Chain A
Amino acid sequence: MSSHYEAPIRKPLIIGDKNYHDVTVDVAAPVEGRANKQWWIAFSIALAAFLWGVACVSYTVGTGIGTWGSNKTVGWAWDITNFVWWVGIGHAGTLISAVLLLFRQKWRMAINRSAEAMTIFSVIQAAMFPVFHMGRPWLAYWVMPIPNQFGSLWVNFNSPLLWDVFAISTYLSVSLVFWWTGLLPDFAMLRDRAITPFAKRVYSIVSFGWSGRAKDWQRFEEVSLVLAGLATPLVLSVHTIVSFDFATSVIPGWHTTILPPYFVAGAIFSGFAMVNTLLIIMRKLSNLEAYITVQHIELMNIIIMITGSIVGVAYITELFIAWYSGVEYEQYAFLNRATGPYWWSYLLMMTCNVVSPQVMWFKKIRTSIYVSFVISIVVNIGMWFERFVIIVTSLHRDYLPSSWTMFQPTFVDAGFFIGTIGFFFVLFLLYSRSFPVIAQAEVKSIMKTSSETYKKLREQGGHDNHSHSEHNHH
């Protein structure tokens, strides 16, 4: 990894005249400063949405699942749609930290911390749906294989819903450990800079006494690599298991073998879109434009474009095989998606997911921050509709025409979803004011290869690539 030479065609990842100290100051500033009015306004709105969600969930648990729009035929609707959507969003975080680490993508360093935070906060949102869509959520602990007094009544390990329990809980715990390990040197930096005794106390607790010795760093690197190697199959398997909820069934439109990799591609797609949405705002409000550059946004757009195309190929594959199979039910499921009563949601999904990312082929568009922001939101709307289309349109019309029906969400369905969006932003806004949002230790490690300052120095010094150590930079 420690390549001492970097090709001149690579553009700098840290722009402006920055040195090591500048990185520290820039990253610490949002944590050490005071929140402004905008932050408080955003926080209040998010908190209100969250509380409204709490109210709706309490109403559901107190009164019953019948408060939702789901019915006898469409037993899964917004609950599972939102669950899959949030899990999908959570995937980009691990992808950026783990997969991009395995592929030695230096540009990940400016964005991995926030992406991981996003993972953890969205998995928390996702995890609420499996619990509260239960008719008797107070018996949720029965899904755990715990020895008990019912003659040791056990769970059936054949259900993908049980696999979900293990997948999500493992995913959340591994992501949390991965994220926290990476935070240790950064928390230590905040601890060492802290002025108030309270802050000093807090950051010394959370930094676990990190002192940055050579041996610590060596083990730190090794742990990161091992966790990245474990998190990559984890990220694939988690969304795969989520896709098994549908693909193992016999429902036309659900039972299809492409769902595992296609759900994963969709998760990366929507996850990156969400990272883009968040970071475009954050780089501006927290003054981090020197680290999260237009090149970072462009590269995320390229990943959105690639995964969007993969998702597009999967859509076309499903359509083709539905025709090719010669199975009437399968053919009708897709005809119903395109021309049935929910045609508008299918059209939205197709336009948002297949057409919109294709504009990224144009450099002008993918390097435009405004367009990227808009597209990133469009993609997340599209991906919500993808899950909605898969779940609801396959259920509301299947084998027996006598059980065909429609689905209409109620305000409680919507309230729960809004609540999770509120909760997500509550967590993210708190995070952005108390955590180092850029992994400064990692960014500092690419200072000499990839910062504008050092690239300029190198150019001045001709092509001698080992001369930069002689330059003293202020």
Chain B
Amino acid sequence: MYTFSSRLKTIAFVLMILGVLGIGYSFFTAPKTVEDVEKILAADSHHNGGHAEAAHHDEAAAPEAHTAVKEESHAVEGVNGGHDTIHAETAVVNHDNHNEISHEAHGAEAHDAHAEHEHHLKHVLSQLQNKPWAGVYVAALFFMLISLGALAFFAIQNAAQAGWSPVLFRVMEGISSYLIPGAVIVFLLLVAGVLQFHHLFVWMDPDVVAEDHLIQAKSGYLNGAFFLIRAAIFMGGWIFYRQYARKNSLAQDDATDNSFYKKNFKASAAFLVFFIVTESIMSWDWIMSVDPHWYSTLFGWYVFASFIVSAVTVIAMVAIYLKSLGYLEYVNTSHIHDLAKFMFGFSVFWTYLWFSQFMLIWYADIPEEIVYFKMRIENYNLPFFGMVVMNFVFPVLILINTDFKRLSWVIVMAGIVILFGHYIDFFNMIMPATVGEQWFIGAGEIGAILFFLGLFIFVVFTALTKAPLLAKRNPLIEESKHFHY
């Protein structure tokens, strides 16, 4: 049996406390009124001329776009395609989904510089108020999806009757235990959005929807009640499988036959079917809909690739940690080697999907789609391309070597880079639509990462103490113990 060392427990608590402080600080310092924003911008222009210049540029460009919207809305009232393009183009200029409000506000006095300035301040205010929420949301989602990914990997191993991995089943079960608190937190954040506590999802704001034909057309799908019902069903389904599979896995330890193993085999196959459907919809709901004008068919699978590679990485890192303390008697370098191959393979797979989505949209250059990447390349250049280096170039160069894949320190080092890279991936998916060009990785974002990391460590390692770390009577456990590659 594993005992949760008090040192690690202390680390987890320290992380959580530091995290709470950071998150609290970011909420506390977020501007409350337009006047606060004005002060912040004034202070910024002292320190950073470039930013003020950019803001001016933004203002200068805006009237032009508004005129276009006005003309267009008279001319092509009935043509959706035309509308879409225009919406998209204004979004580029404003870097924001709130452009509909501005349209209303400036209908009469579009060229009034004062009104423009007021609008700009309001716009920055909403972005800065979103910032602490977005930081929490990205980290909450990221850690929950890691545990979901570990659960999916566990289900795949079961359904595939893998002979190498059963000695790691308890590690995967432990990581998936975070799914329960993690999903609850994400669900609460979604509820908070529907209740208008935060504005990460613009389509939840009735004022925005009232002005936006495109979102109105989607309201049959994008509406608060249906959104939360879907989320509850998905999370309920995942947690149900997790609890059921864990129960059977423990029961198999003391069983006299393979009946619990067979139950898990069937449950895993059923879960995977449920998973592939719910995972796609989940990614449209919780991630893609922060940009409610934008859409991509590949998106669900792309999100999957991002969190499955993070999950495998975490499995490998937890296994290496436990092994270093002498807990995983039968785990050898061959098991680690296999995990590292999955880290390598899924990293390439993620890149394949990233490139496919990016290249196809870049190539066709259809305005309503390209805004998504235009925004990111212009305002998130380093995170956007930096993540490709962290998620692809680095792991591929390091993990191609067979000998390296057996060295703990290489796996841990590559793993840290991969995990940071995929955090940035989720950051890139959420932030541009919620905080726009006001992004910064500061106290709020780092605090959220530390808090959820602490919570994750606490929950996962507590779960690991609850059962022996070897699945004793699994029919494939002997194969796994003797596994040598």
Chain A residues with CB under 8 Å of chain B are: 1-10, 233, 236-237, 240, 244, 247-250, 255-261, 309-310, 313-314, 317-318, 320-321, 324-329
B470-484, CB < 8 A from A = 475-476, 478-479, 482-484
Interface 9-residue window, one of B48-56, B272-280, B452-460: B272-280
A327 and B368 in contact, given A9-B475, A258-B297 (Cβ under 8 angstroms): yes
Beta-carbon nearest neighbor of A258 in chain B:
B297
Nearest CB of B to A100, in Å: 12
CA distance A236 to B355 in the complex (A): 13
Nearest CB of A to B364, in Å: 5
Nearest CB of A to B94, in Å: 19
Q: Which single member of A1, A10, A320 contacts B485 (CB below 8 Å)?
A: A1
Beta-carbon nearest neighbor of A306 in chain B:
B272
- B29 contacts partner chain A, Cβ-Cβ < 8 Å: no
B348-370, CB < 8 A from A = 348, 352-353, 356-357, 359-361, 363-364, 366, 368
CA distance A240 to B360 in the complex (A): 11
**Taking chain B's interface residues, is the majority helix, strand, or loop, or is none over half, making it mixed?**
helix
- B229 contacts partner chain A, Cβ-Cβ < 8 Å: no
Residues of B within 8 A of A326 (CB): 80, 84, 214, 217-218
CA distance A3 to B483 in the complex (A): 6
A328 and B80 in contact, given A244-B360, A248-B364, A313-B280 (Cβ under 8 angstroms): yes
A324 and B482 in contact, given A236-B352, A240-B356, A248-B360 (Cβ under 8 angstroms): no
Q: Could you list 30 examples of A-B contacts with CB < 8 Å?
A: A3-B482, A3-B483, A5-B478, A6-B479, A7-B163, A9-B258, A233-B348, A236-B352, A248-B359, A248-B363, A248-B364, A249-B364, A257-B298, A257-B299, A257-B357, A257-B360, A257-B361, A258-B298, A259-B297, A260-B352, A260-B353, A260-B356, A261-B298, A261-B301, A318-B297, A324-B295, A326-B218, A327-B81, A328-B79, A329-B81
Centre residue among A6, A8, A255, A326 by max chain B CB count within 10 A: A326
CA distance A233 to B424 in the complex (A): 25
A327 and B483 in contact, given A5-B478, A240-B352, A244-B360 (Cβ under 8 angstroms): no
CA distance A327 to B476 in the complex (A): 51
Centre residue among B284, B360, B366, B476 by max chain A CB count within 10 A: B360
Q: Check B298–A324 contact: CB distance below 8 A.
A: no
Q: Which single member of A10, A259, A310, A327 contacts B276 (CB below 8 Å)?
A: A310
Beta-carbon nearest neighbor of B82 in chain A:
A328
Beta-carbon nearest neighbor of B357 in chain A:
A257
Residues of A within 8 A of B484 (CB): 2-3
- B296 contacts partner chain A, Cβ-Cβ < 8 Å: yes
A309 and B485 in contact, given A7-B476, A249-B364, A257-B296 (Cβ under 8 angstroms): no
Residues of A within 8 A of B348 (CB): 233
Q: What string of 1s and 0s marks CB contacts (under 8 Å) between B218-243 and chain A? A: 10010000000000000000000000
Residues of A within 8 A of B218 (CB): 324, 326
- B31 contacts partner chain A, Cβ-Cβ < 8 Å: no
Chain B residues with CB under 8 Å of chain A are: 79-81, 84, 161, 163, 214, 217-218, 221, 258, 273, 276-277, 280, 284, 295-301, 348, 352-353, 356-357, 359-361, 363-364, 366, 368, 475-476, 478-479, 482-485
Beta-carbon nearest neighbor of A320 in chain B:
B284
Q: Check A313–B478 contact: CB distance below 8 A.
A: no
Beta-carbon nearest neighbor of B363 in chain A:
A248
A317 and B479 in contact, given A326-B214, A327-B84 (Cβ under 8 angstroms): no
Residues of B within 8 A of A256 (CB): 297-298
Q: Check A309–B273 contact: CB distance below 8 A.
A: yes
Residues of B within 8 A of A257 (CB): 296-299, 356-357, 360-361
Q: Check B276–A313 contact: CB distance below 8 A.
A: yes
Nearest CB of A to B198, in Å: 23
Q: Check A317–B300 contact: CB distance below 8 A.
A: yes
Nearest CB of B to A456, in Å: 19
Q: Check B276–A9 contact: CB distance below 8 A.
A: no
Beta-carbon nearest neighbor of B213 in chain A:
A326
Q: Check B478–A255 contact: CB distance below 8 A.
A: no
CA distance A324 to B482 in the complex (A): 51
Q: Which single member of A9, A249, A259 contacts B476 (CB below 8 Å)?
A: A9
CA distance A260 to B354 in the complex (A): 11
Residues of A within 8 A of B258 (CB): 9
Residues of B within 8 A of A260 (CB): 298, 352-353, 356, 360
Beta-carbon nearest neighbor of B362 in chain A:
A248
